[in-house]
Amino acid sequence: MAKFSTYLGAWPAIGLFWLSFRFLGLEHQQAALVALCYCGIRIAWGLKSGTTTKLDFTVTGYYIFGFLLTIFDQQLASIFLVDRQMFFLFAAFCTMALLSVLIGAKPFTAAFARRRTPEALWNSKIFITINRTMSLLWAGLFLCAALFSLLPWQPLNIILPLVMIFGVGFPFNARFPQWFMERQDRCKAEQAINPIVPMISEPHQHDDIIHTVRFIPDTIKKQRAEELGPVRSALVIFGSPRGKNGFTHLALSTFLDGMRDEGVDAEIIYLHEKNIKSCLGCFSCWTKTPGQCVHQDDMTDILAKGADVDLIIFAQPLYVYSVPGIVKNFLDRGLPGLLPFLKPGTYNLTAHPAREGHDFGRRNLIFSVCGFPEKDHFSPLIDMFRYKARVKDTPIVGELLRPASESLKTLPEKNARKRAVMQALYQAGCEVVRQGYVNNATEEQIAMPLFPVVENFHTMANHFWQYRIDYNQEKKSGAVVGDLQNYLQSKPEMLFAGMVSIFDPEKAGDFTGTFQFHLTDQENGDYYLQVKDKRCLAKKGKVSHPDLLIKTPLSVWQAIANGDISGSKAMLERLYIIEGNADMLTRMQEIFS
Among 456, 439, 430, which residue's Cα sits nearest to residue 531? 456
**CB count, 10 Å around CB of 155?**
9
Helix H segments across 435-563?
Answer: 440-446, 454-476, 484-489, 492-501, 505-508, 554-561
* Structure confidence at residue 397 (pLDDT): 95
Report DSSP state, residue 373.
S
pLDDT band at 426 (very low <50, low <70, confident <90, very high): very high
Is 372 a residue whose pLDDT tops 60? yes
With respect to residue 203, please indicate whether it lies within any of the assigned structural domains.
Answer: no
Q: What is the pLDDT of residues 511-555, one digit of tens each?
A: 999 999 999 999 889 999 999 998 898 999 999 999 999 999 999
Question: In the structure, what pLDDT confidence band is assigned to residue 184 with cuts at 50, 70 and 90?
Answer: low
Residue 269, SS3 per DSSP: strand
Q: Provide the residue range defining the domain that includes 316.
A: 230-446
Mean of pLDDT over the chain: 87
Helix (H, G, I), strand (E, B) or coil at 527: strand
pLDDT of residue 416: 80
Q: How many residues does this entry show for the chain?
A: 593
Query: Is residue 202 in some structural domain?
Result: no
Residues 277 and 385 in one domain: yes
Structure confidence at residue 251 as a pLDDT band (50, 70, 90): very high
The angle subtended at Cα 460 by Cα 580 and Cα 583, nearest 5°, is 20
Mean pLDDT computed over 468-475: 92
Residue 204 reports pLDDT greater than 60: no
Give the closest residue to 453 by CA, choosing from 529, 534, 372, 540.
534
Collapsing DSSP states into helix, strand and coil, what is residue 302? helix
Distance CA 477, CA 471 (A): 10
DSSP reduced 3-state for 107? coil
Q: Is residue 34 part of a domain?
A: yes
**Count of domains in the chain?**
3
Least confident segment among 148-152, 198-202, 534-538: 198-202
DSSP string, 112-174: HHGGGS-GGGTTSHHHHHHHHHHHHHHHHHHHHHHHHTT-SSTTHHHHHHHIIIIIIIHHHHH
Report pLDDT for 46: 82
Amino acid at 468: R
Residue 339's pLDDT is 93
- The pLDDT of residue 196 is 40
Asked whether residue 385 is assigned to any structural domain, the reply reads yes
- The CA dihedral of 254, 258, 264, 267, to the nearest 10 degrees, is -10
Residue 232 has pLDDT above 90, yes or no: yes
Residues 253 and 393 in one domain: yes
Rounded distance between C-alpha atoms, residue 252 and residue 165, angstroms = 53
Q: Which of 414, 446, 478 is the last residue of a domain?
A: 446
18 and 162 co-located in one domain? yes
DSSP code of 235? E
Most confident of 354-368, 427-441, 496-510, 566-580: 427-441
Query: pLDDT per residue over 53-88, tens digit each?
Result: 888 899 999 999 999 999 988 899 899 988 888 899
**Domain CATH code at residue 409:** 3.40.50.360
| Domain shared by 54 and 114, yes or no | yes
Query: What CA–CA distance (Å, rounded) separates 102 from 116?
Result: 25
Asked if residue 282 and residue 180 are part of one domain, the reply reads: no
pLDDT for 195 beyond 80 = no
Residues 165 and 314 in one domain: no
545 and 435 co-located in one domain:
no
Q: Are residues 495 and 576 in the same domain?
A: yes
449 prior amide bond cis, ω within 30: no
For residue 243, which phi and psi values (nearest 5 degrees)? 60, -135
Q: What is the pLDDT of residue 310?
A: 96
- Residue 319, domain member (yes or no): yes
CA 482 to CA 456: how far, in whole Å?
28
Judgement on whether residues 385 and 237 belong to the same structural domain of the protein: yes
**Domain check: are 530 and 409 in the same one?**
no
Same domain, 182 and 56: yes
With a cut of 80, say whether residue 198 has pLDDT above it: no
- In this model, does residue 476 exceed pLDDT 60? yes
- For residue 12, count CB atoms less than 10 angstroms from its CB and return exposed for 0-12, middle for 13-18, buried for 19 or more: middle
0.85 cut: is pTM over it? Answer: no
Query: Given this model, what pLDDT does residue 470 score?
Result: 92
Residue 256 lies in a domain: yes
Amino acid (1-letter code) at residue 236: V
Do residues 358 and 250 share a domain?
yes
Under 8 Å between Cβ of 360 and 312 = yes
- Choose the final residue of a domain: 173, 193, 213: 193
Half-sphere exposure of 485 (CA within 13 A, CB side): 3
What are 82-111's pLDDT values in tens digits?
888 889 999 999 999 899 888 888 888 888
Tell the burial category of 565 from Cβ atoms under 10 Å away from its Cβ (0-12, 13-18, 19+).
middle
Angle between helices 416-434 and 170-193 (to 10 degrees): 70
Q: Which residues pair with 314 in a beta bridge?
A: 237, 366
Q: How confident is residue 388, by pLDDT bands cut at 50, 70 and 90?
A: confident
Query: Does residue 179 register a pLDDT over 90?
Result: no
Q: What is the pLDDT of residue 199?
A: 36
- Give residue 186's pLDDT: 56
CA distance 390 to 384: 10
CA distances from 123 to 46, 118, 489 (A): 20, 11, 34
| CATH number for the domain that contains residue 507 | 3.30.1050.10
Whole-number pLDDT of residue 376: 92
Residue 482 has pLDDT above 70, yes or no: yes
Q: Is residue 206 part of a domain?
A: no
- Name 364's bridge partners: 312, 396
- Which residue type is seen at 201? S
**Does a structural domain hold residue 427?**
yes
Least confident of 123-127, 324-328, 451-455, 456-460: 123-127
Distance separating alpha carbons of residues 21 and 208, to the nearest angstrom? 98
Choosing from 413, 446, 479, the residue where a domain stops is: 446
DSSP 393: T
When comparing pLDDT for 423 and 119, which is higher?
423
Q: In terms of Cα–Cα distance, which of 591, 251, 247, 248 is closest to 453?
A: 591
